[in-house]
Structure 1
Amino acid sequence: MVVQQNEKWFAVVGLPLSFRNGEHELHVVDDAGRKQAQRFTVRPKEYGVQRIALQNKRMVNPTGDDLKRIDRDSSEIQRAFAKWRELGAPPLSFDLPVEGPISGVFGTRRFFNDQERQPHNGVDLAAPLGTPIRAPADAVVIGAGDYFFNGRTVFLDHGQGLISMYNHMNRIAVTLGETVTRGQRIGDVGMTGRVTGPHLHWGVSLNNVRVDPLLFVPEELLKNLAPTK
């Protein structure tokens, strides 16, 4: 994603959780074919552990039929994250889609019924069933469906490979291809898919790499956003 600030251009690049620590080099090529290399360092970071008990055993060890559905879901989700829409000025600042405490942070190692699964690739915001979910910035709806793990889900395209995802919804209030504005209601908090209670799983992808959504939220909005005990 390329943005302009104070008459200068900046490239914003997402790095996956699995990215190797140490020295790396980013190569940039402009429209004229000129190349430039930028070195950077990835430093170690410790992530917490979250242990979750689920009554529905299929949400931990899916059946054969479940796995077929999960494969179809994964393909559809990957297509949404791979979308690219040219946009001169994609948003660098998001509003919170739901007002509620954090019940799950980005990057935690997760164990379901003591079985380790993929690290948490989003932020969970706890809120009562039916709480409005609002678009954090202007966007286009590029996906809406009901998935095995994610439940009822909406994907918003904010431009230049910046995609946001909203899982476990009770109700979807937008349609495919619809243009939404910052603050518009896109659905309601629910507990569909793999959940233990009502909440919103909010994910953000930059150039098809899952990144922490809270990196896009201004500090003043995060001050009252304390994790649940």
Structure 2
Amino acid sequence: MPSLVRTLLLMAACAALPAQAESFISRLLNKPVPGGVAVVPLGEAPVAPVVTYRDRRTMVLRDDTGQWLSVVGIPLDTKPGAQRIVIQEEAGSRTVAFEIRDKVYAAQHIKLKNKRQVNPDPADLARIEKETAEQLAAYRAFRPHGPSNVMFDRPVEGGRLSSPFGLRRFFNGEARNPHSGLDFAVPAGTPVKAPAAGRVILVGNYFFNGKTVFLDHGQGLVSMFCHLSEITVQPGQEVARGEAVGRVGATGRATGPHLHWNVSLNDARVDPAIFIGAFKP
């Protein structure tokens, strides 16, 4: 074989190595943007290391190449640039840096007839404060095992993805928090199914979210389904992948029937589209 051809083949083979070495988990989940997920290689070790980011424990999984990975949820308000995780090992602690890329999210303007859902009265605010504390505690749940799968099933069948994650929202012209989940435009009564196995850690009927279910998939990965018309599970119940947790409705602050699905990872609300292969850079 001529030397030039051998050189070109060797160069092509070397160029292909990183793609081949990249794990399934990295290919699926590594979207390091505000509101995204960073997959950070940790190397090989006999047991999983304990990793924290912003004082929250992160998910740690072993990939198909045999090394450990830290799967990190990135809060939506994170600035692009360098971030660090802290790794606790027998020999002590070390830090590993990873880079956050920029992402620009669109704006959404919504008209609501119920003015209290834009500017709640004092009694509403007291209720909202209590409900917010309950839900934040649920998002901070961490069980050391799980999840059953990181490639999630869609929680509802059919329907289009309507309001995407991260929209800068304006209700009746007033700026409010960005959209923290992904909406599915499906009819009222559509069954809502667990995208992965999990434990029901909270149910409630909330001022903004309406009828709501929190499902803990393990290692800080939590799904929240809201605006339901019906809840079909109880706190503490173990739910199998594909099992129904409720039905689509329009309870709470909703302009019509749809499913709003949040995914939280190490207490950071992240884009659910990442976990169903529908992420758009």
What's the TM-score, normalizing by structure 2?
A: 0.75
Task: Give, in angstroms, the shift of residue 91 of structure 1.
Answer: 2.5
Runs of 5+ consecutive residues of structure 1 not aligned to the other structure: 224-229
Matched, 1:191 2:247: no
State the partner residue of 2:131.
73
Greater helix fraction, Structure 1 or Structure 2: 2
Inter-CA distance 124–88: structure 2 relative to 1 (3 Å threshold): closer
CA-to-aligned-CA distance 1:15-37 (integer Å, 9 cap, x gap) = 1011122223323222x143333
Structure 1 moving runs of 4+ over 6 Å: none
2:79 to 17, 20, 41: 20
How many residue pairs align between the two structures?
Answer: 220
Q: Distance between the aligned counterparts of 1:3 and 1:55, measured in 2? A: 46
Q: Distance between the aligned counterparts of 2:191 and 2:77, measured in 1? A: 33
Q: Which has the higher contact order (CA 8 A, sep 6+)?
A: 1
CA-to-aligned-CA distance 1:109-159 (integer Å, 9 cap, x gap) = 000000000001110111101001001011010010000000000000001
Tell me, yes or no, if the aligned pair for 1:84 and 1:160 is still in contact at 8 Å: yes
2:264 to 205, 209, 228: 205
Tell me, yes or no, if the aligned pair for 1:4 and 1:89 is still in contact at 8 Å: no
Task: Give, in angstroms, the shift of residue 39 of structure 1.
Answer: 1.9
What secondary structure does 1:80 align onto? helix
Matched, 1:181 2:250: no
Seq. identity, %: 48
Matched, 1:2 2:60: yes
Tell me, yes or no, if the aligned pair for 1:140 and 1:157 is still in contact at 8 Å: yes
Q: Distance between the aligned counterparts of 2:201 and 2:98, measured in 1? A: 33
What secondary structure does 2:85 align onto? strand
2:165 to 106, 129, 138: 106
Residue identity in the other structure for 1:68: A
Matched, 1:216 2:272: no
Tell me, yes or no, if the aligned pair for 1:3 and 1:89 is still in contact at 8 Å: no
2:142 to 56, 77, 84: 84
What's the TM-score, normalizing by structure 1?
A: 0.92
Q: Distance between the aligned counterparts of 1:89 and 1:199, measured in 2? A: 26
What secondary structure does 1:65 align onto? helix
Q: Distance between the aligned counterparts of 1:95 and 1:89, measured in 2? A: 13
- RMSD of equivalent CA atoms: 1.6
What secondary structure does 1:40 align onto? strand
Task: Give, in angstroms, the shift of residue 89 of structure 1.
Answer: 5.0
Inter-CA distance 137–89: structure 2 relative to 1 (3 Å threshold): closer
Task: Give, in angstroms, the shift of residue 90 of structure 1.
Answer: 4.6
Answer with 1 or 2: which has the greater Rg.
Answer: 2
Inter-CA distance 50–88: structure 2 relative to 1 (3 Å threshold): closer
